[in-house]
Amino acid sequence: MQEIKNKLEQQLNQHGYGFQYSVLEYIRRLFAKKQSQWVFEAAEFPAEVQGKGTRIDFILKLKDTRLFILAECKRVNPKFSNWCFVKAPYVRRNRSSESYFVDHVEFNQHDPHNVCKVTGEKLTGWISEDRAYHIGLVIKSQSTKGESGKLESDAIEQAATQICRGLNGLIELLPKRPRLIKTEIKNNVFHAGVTLLPVIFTTAKLYTCDCKLTSSNLEDGKLDLSGEELSQKDWIFFQYNVSPGIKHSSKPGQISDEFAKILDYDYVRTIPIVTPKGIAKFLAYFEDL
């Protein structure tokens, strides 16, 4: 019996179930104490896109809005627990600042078939420039003991892909459940459709470096970080370019003949990555916007 219990403990920890539900319990307590307006909606919600199924760890709803958080919980192998992020100096032509990119889903009132329309939205004022990063790398620790069976050198990419697959799978579901895409009135203002925010909660430590990649040596391509500093953050905004292989099939909200605009509206999605210490402040970040 002890052997079975030990194996069960190992499997639960390896799959991260304990972390997932401890995050949910912490968020529930914040709401109960009126320290947060985010309400639990559902856990392990099934989704499928392009023939591949997944489950969203849990869904939260901001009270009295149609704003939803879709969560991926990532408990990492301690040996691969250092997640480092840097800014890309070039993303698209004529972009001088960062925006919060999300998917907003509504029925197209001007379409005779009233089909579902997905708009790649820029949420004005919803992003802090000093927290927006484009490149994420997992740094292996040589001094920390790891866990068997968990090789996570690409954990950031895996987590981002997983939550984006869940996001796009949910978008595929919404046209089949039109009551989910409804108009609400709040403060005499009409709010049409739903806005979906993919978020990664993780046990990893988040570090950022504001180095200038353009200062790399042109001859050998190497970058010297000897004069740079790392900063530890409780959460960051990861500007992630979603692969077409996990995108939804719904009609896009914008049509453009410019690669730069297509990148923003169709592919770039902002994924907040949040540590346990940052959960309360992160959730509060949206409530007054």
pLDDT at 182: 65
Q: Are 82 and 225 in contact (CB under 8 A)?
A: no
- Give the bridge partners for 272, in sequence order: 237
What pLDDT, on a 0 to 100 scale, did the predictor assign at position 99? 87
Region class of 218: left (phi > 0), else alpha (psi between -120 and 50), else beta: alpha
pLDDT for position 278? 97
The reported pLDDT for the residue numbered 150 is 61
Average pLDDT per run of 10 along the chain, which is 289 residues long? 81 84 96 95 95 95 92 93 94 82 76 60 73 94 67 88 96 82 55 86 96 90 89 96 90 76 88 97 82
Determine contact, residues 282/274, Cβ cutoff 8 Å.
yes
Residues 6+ apart with CB under 8 A from 11: none
For residue 232, give both structure tokens.
Answer: 């530890």
Alpha-carbon dihedral of residues 202, 206, 211, 213, nearest 10 degrees? -20
pLDDT value, residue 189: 47
Give the global pTM. 0.90
Please tell me the predicted confidence (pLDDT) of residue 253: 64
CA-atom Rg of the chain in angstroms: 20
Angle of helix 17-32 relative to helix 2-15, nearest 10 degrees, comes to 70
Q: What is the pLDDT of residues 174-221, one digit of tens each?
A: 888 877 776 555 555 445 688 999 999 999 999 999 999 988 988 998
Q: What is the per-residue pLDDT for 106? A: 80
Q: How far apart are CA 228 and CA 244, in angstroms?
A: 35
**Per-residue model confidence (pLDDT) at position 190:** 47
